[in-house]
Chains A and B, each alone.
Chain A
Amino acid sequence: MAIPLYIFLIIYFVFLAIFAIFSYFDIDHIIKFGTLNFTNLLAVTIYIGGSVLILIISWQFIGQIDWKQPIELSGIINSGMPY
């Protein structure tokens, strides 16, 4: 029996959606309830910049993987190592 590798990518995208929702709430709170000043805007800019940087670096690795390849579950069970 085989499952496609992109299952993990779907889980990753679900995580990204949750990350985006919580980031939205954080940024919204800082803007709505914080003092509108340079620190405030700098914090939001650094956060968005940092998030984009992590996603770009992640994509350098994730983008080169063939996500269509199947994972043989029987192979994992027999060998003990999912190569």
Chain B
Amino acid sequence: MKEKTLFPPKKYEKTIYVLRRHWMVFFGTFLFYCVLGTIPIVLYVFFLYNFSNILITVLLSNIIFPVLALGVSIYYLSIWLFFFTSFADYYLDLWTVTNDRIVSIDQQGLFARTISELDLYKIQDVTSETKGFFPSIFSYGNVYIQTAAEKERFLFKQVPNPNEIRQRVIELMEEDRKYHLSQTAISGKPNE
């Protein structure tokens, strides 16, 4: 796990959740690329049964056939590349909840990544949201985490079991707050 280099763990820190978006979210993308992949096959079958003379002319052509072969190859390689890039985008979006903080790694395309951290004791409000037909059936949704700061709230996008995560984050937040209060009482200054 690269979390050691991306966000070095503290001595007392334990990982509670490593969250990714629900697999159903990526399944939609998968179906989309499957449809794109079948288009040339469907067109070939359509021309074979309806315009076979045109198809034979094209296949026997010394110029159209080579260009078509290269075009179809480029088409399938592009679909494959875009599909894998979508997978990387899905797979590299990661939220890690520890007993001390929340770390969000947001992959945006190939060349942009945002990593942000939030201390659990600074959390003010946690909201879970399940909206829509598929999210309700497969039990996934968003979890919003709000701090007192004006900064926009943390968002766990389309994660599995958002209600369970909300409850657990609230528990962790209370434990962390108690820990920080006790540390403050002992040392006289807030412990980061």
Contacts and interface: CB of A to CB of B under 8 A. Distances in A.
B63 A71 contact: yes
Interface residues of B, number: 33
A49 B65 CA distance: 26
Contacts of A11: 70
A7 to B, nearest CB: 10
Main secondary structure, interface of B, reads helix
B115 to A, nearest CB: 10
Contacts of B74: 12, 15
A54 interface: yes
Given A33-B105, A33-B107, A51-B77, A12 B70 contact: yes
Interface in B66-80: 66-67, 69-70, 72-74, 76-78, 80
Interface stretch (B83-91, B116-124, B132-140, B145-153): B83-91
A51 B77 CA distance: 7
Interface residues of A, number: 37
B186 interface: no
Contacts of A62: 66, 69-70, 73
B67 A35 contact: no
A35 B88 contact: no
Interface of A: 5, 8-9, 11-12, 15-16, 19, 22-23, 25-26, 29-30, 32-36, 39-40, 43, 47, 50-51, 54-55, 58, 61-62, 65-67, 69, 71, 82-83
22 contacts: A5-B63, A5-B66, A8-B66, A8-B67, A19-B78, A23-B84, A26-B88, A29-B88, A29-B110, A30-B92, A33-B107, A34-B92, A35-B18, A43-B91, A55-B77, A58-B72, A58-B76, A61-B73, A62-B73, A67-B66, A71-B63, A82-B64
